[in-house]
Amino acid sequence: MRSRSTSDPESTREFAIEIARTLSDSKCTEVVLLDVRGRSQVCDFVVIASGTSQRQMRAAAQDVEDLGKSRGQHPFRTSADDSSTWIVVDFVEIVAHLFEPDQRLYYDLELLHADGRRVDWRRPEGEAPPALRRPRSAATGGEE
């Protein structure tokens, strides 16, 4: 059953920012983070990003899952298959959507959540991104 946790709202916001940064670090484009607290009954934050290929999107989704696990926050659900053009990683309070660009335009979640507040997730200038912990074989789908 899907239920909201009682976690600190600020730590949820920080986790949402980390998810957006991870997607950017994973080469997703047009990353948007929306604060929909008080506006959505489904979640508190929505992260939307575009991928460049199905393989890249799956790797980026895995990076987001790994980030959650490193924080002790396992995803409630991840929906994707080998031919996905839309991948959802659901942490209940935060839902990340990865789209192929045409699908993103078609579903237009930014319009659906137009009343959400945009959150600046970008790192301060000069702050380097952490190295992704994913081994090369996981990114390429092959063996090292």
- How far apart CA 133 and CA 62 sit, in angstroms, is 11
pLDDT tens, residue by residue, 16-39: 999 999 999 999 999 999 999 999
Q: Is residue 143 part of a domain?
A: no
51: number of Cβ within 10 Å: 27
Q: Is the pTM of this model over 0.85?
A: no
Amino acid at 123: R
Boundaries of domain holding 15: 9-114
Residue 34: strand pairing partners: 46, 118
Q: Is residue 138 part of a domain?
A: no
- For residues 93 and 123, the answer to whether their CB atoms sit within 8 Å is no
3-class state of residue 6 by DSSP: coil
Q: Is residue 130 part of a domain?
A: no
The CATH number of the domain holding residue 84 is 3.30.460.10
Mean pLDDT within 5-26: 90
pLDDT tens, residue by residue, 114-136: 999 999 999 887 777 776 555 54
Number of domains the chain is built from: 1
